[in-house]
Amino acid sequence: MFGLGAKSIIGLDIGSSSVKLVEAEKRRSGWVIRSFSSVTLPEDTIVDGEIVNHAAVVEAIKNVYKESNAKSKYVCTSVSGSSVIIKHISLPKTAPSELEDQVYWEAEQYIPFDMSEISLDFEVVQEDAGDGKMDILLVAAKKDFIEKRLAAVRESELTTEILDIDTLALANTFWENYDVNQDSASVLVDVGASLMKINIVNQNTTIFTRDVAIGGKNLTQEIQNKLGISFQEAEVLKIDACTTGQIPEEIAPLVTAISENIALEIRRSLDFYAATPTQQPLNSVYLCGGASRIPNLANMLGEMLGLQIEYLNPFAKVTCSGREFNEEFIAAISSSAVVPLGLAMRGVE
Ligand SMILES: Nc1ncnc2c1ncn2[C@@H]1O[C@H](COP(=O)(O)OP(=O)(O)OP(=O)(O)O)[C@@H](O)[C@H]1O
Ligand SMILES: [Mg+2]
């Protein structure tokens, strides 16, 4: 959203548990992913979307970049969490030359921070939304919060060309891969390590977003506390249990409880959505993010919501180029590639 130029760029997703990089190019036949790399971050490097261990992030970005063999030094990266505001606002129809001032003026009412402390961007969703109004999607984030991301990228000797929002990158990957019905909306859910990002979209715009502070890290911490082991040991045990489906008896109730909590938060978001004035009926829920793979989450969600639940496939239309993209690798990365791919596809090549 916060565009700083337009060059060949790579997608750099600085998540709270790992930094992920995607290099993609647009060919005549469509988008092709050339590389995907990921480097794990130490525990508590990023808390509520905010970088608290700067050196660890810089090291991870340098390592992931090296591993990727990417050519471009220009990146599109993203922010998420409670310091980011995404909101639809309705404005009286305004000439393009005056729009920026008008949006800025109007935004002051909606933004709970001092305007001098925030970066603001917007997109015209509908030029004619009826009654002489236009529909604008407003995106704002605190400057100091953004600056920490930009500084980490800069110190890694890369240049941020575009600063995006996780939820919007999620939608970008969805639209590139799915043909959607005009009369209904889809629920996109990215369950990360610390934050669950929800974006309800129709065929071309974000209608409703919500970030909830819940994710895979909560389950790891509960296993850690219950078994009296380190975070790292608990993480290994958890991934092993979740991928093999052989869940030790002592942690099974913890797995069920986190799935229930995630499902309840999704349901709560759909209740908020149902209370908004311009609602379209919902078709499916599309899940992604590492923690969306917690066993039984999809089933539980399906039962609770009565909607069809699918895993968002970032490779439904986007193709892969390179030997490492065998079936096993594609299956392993598909839930974590969604956001960095959405970022990479902001570039033009
Ligand atoms: N197969 C699996 N089953 C269960 N959980 C998994 C699995 N694979 C990864 N995870 C969990 O997913 C989380 C990482 O997901 P992801 O990479 O989407 O998060 P992130 O982008 O780093 O975090 P965030 O978006 O919240 O900042 C970790 O908590 C990890 O333990
Ligand atoms: Mg993430």
Instruction: Supply the DSSP symbol for 234.
Output: H
pLDDT tens-place string over residues 300-338: 999 999 999 999 999 999 999 988 999 999 999 999 999
Kindly state the percentage of the chain with pLDDT values over 70.
97
For the 179-312 domain, the top CATH level (class) is alpha beta
Residue 162's pLDDT is what? 95
Residue 48's pLDDT is what? 80
* pLDDT higher than threshold 60 for residue 239: yes
Question: For residue 32, how far is the Cα from the chain centroid?
Answer: 20
* Residue 322 · residue 1 · CB < 8 Å: no
Q: Is the CB of 142 under 6 A from ligand 1?
A: no
Interval between CA 141 and ligand 1 midpoint (Å): 24
Interval between CA 95 and ligand 2 midpoint (Å): 37
Instruction: Supply the DSSP symbol for 192.
Output: -
Ligand showing the shortest atom-to-Cα distance for residue 244: 1
Ligand showing the shortest atom-to-Cα distance for residue 219: 1
Residue 186's pLDDT is what? 97
* pLDDT higher than threshold 70 for residue 128: yes
* pLDDT higher than threshold 80 for residue 84: yes
CA-based max dimension of the chain: 64
Residue 349's pLDDT is what? 46
Interval between CA 289 and ligand 2 midpoint (Å): 6
Q: Is the CB of 295 under 6 A from ligand 1?
A: no
Q: Is the CB of 330 under 6 A from ligand 1?
A: no
Nearest Cα residue to 219 out of 235, 203, 204: 235
pLDDT tens-place string over residues 29-75: 999 999 999 999 999 999 888 899 999 999 999 999 999 999 899 99
* pLDDT higher than threshold 90 for residue 1: no
Residue 211's pLDDT is what? 94
Ligand showing the shortest atom-to-Cα distance for residue 39: 1
Which two tokens mark 74?
């220009």
By CB atoms closer than 10 A (0-12, 13-18, 19+), residue 27 is exposed
Model confidence band, residue 6 (pLDDT cutoffs 50, 70, 90): very low
Question: Whole-angstrom distance between the N-terminal and C-terminal Cα of the chain?
Answer: 18
Q: Based on C-alpha coordinates, what's the Rg of the chain?
A: 20
* Residue 282 · residue 186 · CB < 8 Å: yes
Q: Is the CB of 17 under 6 A from ligand 1?
A: yes
For the 1-83+145-178+316-349 domain, the top CATH level (class) is alpha beta
Residue 3's pLDDT is what? 53
Beta bridge partners of 46: 51
Residues with CB under 5 A from ligand 2 (ion): 15, 192
CA distance 270 to 276: 10
Kindly state the percentage of the chain with pLDDT values over 90.
84
Interval between CA 11 and ligand 2 midpoint (Å): 12
Residues of the chain with CATH 3.30.420.40: 1-83+145-178+316-349, 179-312
Q: Is the CB of 195 under 6 A from ligand 1?
A: yes
| Chain position carrying tokens 């925030």 | 118
Atom 24 of ligand 1: nearest residue by CA position: 192
pLDDT tens-place string over residues 159-214: 999 999 999 999 999 999 999 888 899 999 999 999 999 999 998 899 999 999 99
CA distance 171 to 244: 30
pTM comes to 0.95
